[in-house]
């Protein structure tokens, strides 16, 4: 888990500019169940992969969630429960909304 000194700090948010470590901190700050750091990194990296490959295109939340879940199962072999993976993706999207990157 992330050290207590690395707590999410909304003051570090720069509108329009996502920060990887702020995203991870945001997840841990708002998560109501335990996941390992590796699980958080895997889900976040798979999210970023889909986000980056969709530049300039309309993308839906369900599309991102499905991609991350399928990749967790087929490529990374992360067997966290589907609802937990979706919750982490929801938190990433909430972070992006907080900096104006997702409507």
Task: Give the chain's domain count.
Answer: 1
Range of the domain at 61: 4-98
Q: Which tens digit of pLDDT belongs to each residue from 7-50?
A: 566 767 767 778 899 999 999 999 999 999 999 999 999 999 99
Q: Which tens digit of pLDDT belongs to each residue from 37-94?
A: 999 999 999 999 998 898 888 888 999 999 999 999 998 888 899 999 999 999 999 9
87 is a domain residue:
yes
92 is a domain residue:
yes
pTM for the structure as a whole: 0.85
103 is a domain residue:
no
Sequence-separated (6 or more) residues with CB below 8 Å from residue 69: 82, 85, 86
8 is a domain residue:
yes
78 is a domain residue:
yes
66 is a domain residue:
yes
91 is a domain residue:
yes
Q: Among candidates 6, 81, 95, 13, which has minimal Cα distance to 51?
A: 95
């Amino acid at each position: 888990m992330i050290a207590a000194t690395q707590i999410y700090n909304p003051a570090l948010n720069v509108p329009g500019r996502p920060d990887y470590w702020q995203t991870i901190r945001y997840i841990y700050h708002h998560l109501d169940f335990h996941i390992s750091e590796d699980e958080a990194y895997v889900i976040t990296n798979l999210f970023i992969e889909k986000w980056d490959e969709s530049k300039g295109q309309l993308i839906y939340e369900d599309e991102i969630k499905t991609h991350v879940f399928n990749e967790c199962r087929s490529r990374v072999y992360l067997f966290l429960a589907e609802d937990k993976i979706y919750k982490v993706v929801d938190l990433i999207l909430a972070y992006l909304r907080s900096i104006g990157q997702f409507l």
